Amino acid sequence: MAIEVRNVRTDEEFNAWCDAMDVGFYLPQHRGEGPRRRERYQDLGRVWAGFDGDQLVGTLASLDLRLTVPGRAQIPLDGISAVTVAATHRRQGLARQLMAAELGRAKERGESIAALVAAEYPIYGRFGFGPATETAQWLVDARDLRFRRELPGRIELIDAAAARFEAAALYDRVRADGVGMVSREGWRWDRDTGQSPRDGDAPAKSVLHAVCRDERGQIVGYAAYRFTEKWTNQRPDNTLHVVALIATDPVYEARLWKHLADHDWVTNIVGPEFDRADAIWRDLLVDRRMAVPANGWDFLWLRVLDPAAALAARTYARADRIVLRVEDKDGYAAGTYALQAEADGGARCALTLEPADVTLPVDRLGSIYLGGFTAARLAASGLVEEHTSGAVERLSALFAVGIAPHNPMIF
């Protein structure tokens, strides 16, 4: 029997979809949570499933998100999530069918870009996604963490209920300027601050929540953290695990790290799992080797569906006009586009019959779109083709951003 790919239609099917997703992510202990999750997925037109007869064997969800692009515009983003295929049905093209169904729907909705966080590197390039941001987890030696200057800000501990709203409000303020940042739904803050425990779970008490206030009393930073106790030769050797850390600028970020390192008995700090790969706050350290990266990897992957709309939505570092040919075997973005970047940073983009200055596959366009990767870097490996002398360098200069894009949220 052929596999049918369609939207989930009923609450009963949604419950089965949740169970299939949990099994697909090797979390079978979470089965039965469909009713609890239903309010997170109110639009079943964004919930896709593969059916083999009555058996649900594949899942994919689309999230209605916003992406901050260079110039501070927040554009609609098709957030791809919950992609699983049952072990009994792998290598049969089901993931491609699910992805094609959603990307086609996103194009109809007028969303110019889709995004996801790739669990495995080789998979999503086949569907036109390219890595656009990088992340790292930082390991910090707390025993002698000294800074090059006095750090402003006052630290205050707050309870989890207050953290739910203060952290969300701060995140949205930071996101307004943060290229690459993705909007975060309220239910994620409920979950991460322990406001919506699973049935039978006791309220989380192991996590502490701290905010940093500036001289006016405004919250400019937030950190959530917990401890692992350890004694070595009867000497304290505890580790502090940072669950989340956000701040309006690197100075206040450094102030939060200082607060974490100031805890007695703590020798090591394990930073947030999805932190900035460049970690600008480290420049304020007397010894930058006190903080070292671990588990660095690509994070947010972008898939351009409408190059004209996507390229016109962001601003550019200089005025120029360049013609790009975008290759897309699935057809969504294929074409030749004239991009006119103005001196004020604004831009226009439209299909053209002119010869291209540069040809690049759609996944490469996704990689350079936010400025995290450059056309020159890709061209050095033969991944971008130049037709007009100097066009690759011009393209790199156009898309340049001062600070690398970063997205701290997995979805």
- C-alpha 155/C-alpha 149 separation (Å) is 17
C-beta of residue 137 within 8 angstroms of C-beta of residue 272: yes
- C-alpha 133/C-alpha 302 separation (Å) is 9
Residue 291, marked binder: no
Bridge partner residues of 114 (DSSP):
78, 303
Q: Which residue has the tokens 């036109």?
A: 128
Bridge partner residues of 6 (DSSP):
49
Residue 85, marked binder: yes
Residue 224, marked binder: no
Does residue 217 sit in helix, strand or coil? coil
**Quick one: which H or E segment has residue 156?**
strand 154-158
Single-letter amino acid, residue 39: E
- Residue 191 burial (10 A CB sphere; 0-12, 13-18, 19+): middle
What pairing do the DSSP bridges indicate for beta strands 266-270 and 238-247?
Answer: parallel
C-alpha to C-alpha distances, 21 to 27, 83, 353, nearest whole angstrom: 8, 8, 45
Q: Which of 124, 127, 171, 399 is catalytic?
A: 124
- Residue 74 burial (10 A CB sphere; 0-12, 13-18, 19+): middle
**Quick one: which H or E segment has residue 135?**
strand 134-141
Q: Which residue has the tokens 């987890």?
A: 137
C-beta of residue 335 within 8 angstroms of C-beta of residue 99: no
Residue 96, marked binder: yes
Q: Which of 222, 225, 316, 411 is catalytic?
A: 411
Q: Is 332 a catalytic residue?
A: no
Residue 92, marked binder: yes
Tokens of 198: 């699973």
Q: Is 26 a catalytic residue?
A: no
Torsions phi, psi for 370 (to 5 deg): -90, -5
Residue 174, marked binder: no
Residue 182, marked binder: no
Residue 83, marked binder: yes
Q: Which residues are annotated as a binding site for acetyl-CoA?
A: 83-85, 91-96
Catalytic center residues: 124, 411
Q: Which residues are annotated as a binding site?
A: 83-85, 91-96
